[in-house]
Amino acid sequence: MSIIQFQKTSKHFGTLKVLDEVDLAIEQGEVVVLVGPSGSGKSTLLRCINGLERITSGDLIVDGLSVTGGSSQLRQIRQEAGMVFQQFNLFPQLTALENVAFGPRKVRGASLKEAEQQARELLVKVGLVEKASQYPAELSGGQQQRVAIARALAIKPRVMLFDEPTSALDPELKQEVLTVMRDLAREGMTMVVVTHEMNFAKQVGTRLIFMEHGTIAVDGNPVDVIDHPPNQRMKEFLQRVE
């Protein structure tokens, strides 16, 4: 069964229809890159997957659980779907290590020793173990985002959701974050990534979705659809981001 399954999923904000009966199945191991004009509903689609936005109608199944379930079911879904935000959102009162250990400690109830050991391993993985005792304010944007990725990985999710993870970063800092994401994809992590990085989409993505007005307008192989956009508006969009 698909790990993420949108079934005629709609989302309204008041009278504004942001997702319009979306049907979409994402399989384990896929790296889905989500693109589209501002306001087309990319973030909303992503945030519906981990229930940060509640869907209005239809259904959405994540790892066998419906996001329309109660709050404990929602928490279960969130432990299966880690999220990385554009603005990093690291906890400023905690060190890098404590940020990463936070999820296992407070969500999974791990012991301090166990959680910190695991956090250290994750910081090694994102190349920041030497920054373990720094506070977020003492780290560069790229470093903060790598810690944020480690924090999301610490709860051992089966899917990772990225909402424009490099948009707030200077060009020279984007690469270090994209590299970590590329490694993650190589390990077989299922990923849904909202990004404007078309090179990343081509090299790492297994699937590209172009959204428009809350619907999926294009869904195909990244290299194919970027090099030969099947629709005029996607063509215009690509010209603008490149």
Question: Which residues contribute to the site for another protein (CB under 8 A)?
Answer: 50, 52, 71, 75-76, 78-79, 82-83, 85, 87, 89-93, 102-103, 106-107, 137, 148, 151-152, 155
For position 166 contacting Mg ion by CB under 5 A, the verdict is no
* Window 36 to 75, contacts with ligand ATP (CB under 6 A): 36, 38-44
Nearest to another protein of 89, 175 (CB atom): 89
Nearest to another protein of 169, 226 (CB atom): 169
User: Which of 66-83 are b and which e, b meaning 16 or more Cβ less than 10 Å from the residue's Cβ?
Assistant: ebeeeeeebeebbbbbbb
* C-alpha span between 194 and 112 (Å, rounded): 34
The distance of closest approach from Cβ of residue 10 to another protein in the complex, given in angstroms and rounded to an integer, is 22
Q: At what angle do helices 112-125 and 96-106 cross, to 10 degrees?
A: 130
Tokens coding 15: 């009278």
Specify whether the CB–CB gap between 106 and 58 falls below 8 A: no
- Among ligand ATP, another protein, Mg ion, none, residue 102 binds (CB under 5-8 Å by kind): another protein
* C-alpha span between 102 and 74 (Å, rounded): 19
For position 241 contacting ligand ATP by CB under 6 A, the verdict is no
Q: HSE on the CB side for 69, CA within 13 Å?
A: 18
Name the residues that contact ligand ATP, by CB under 6 A: 13, 16, 18, 36, 38-44
Name the residues that contact Mg ion, by CB under 5 A: 43
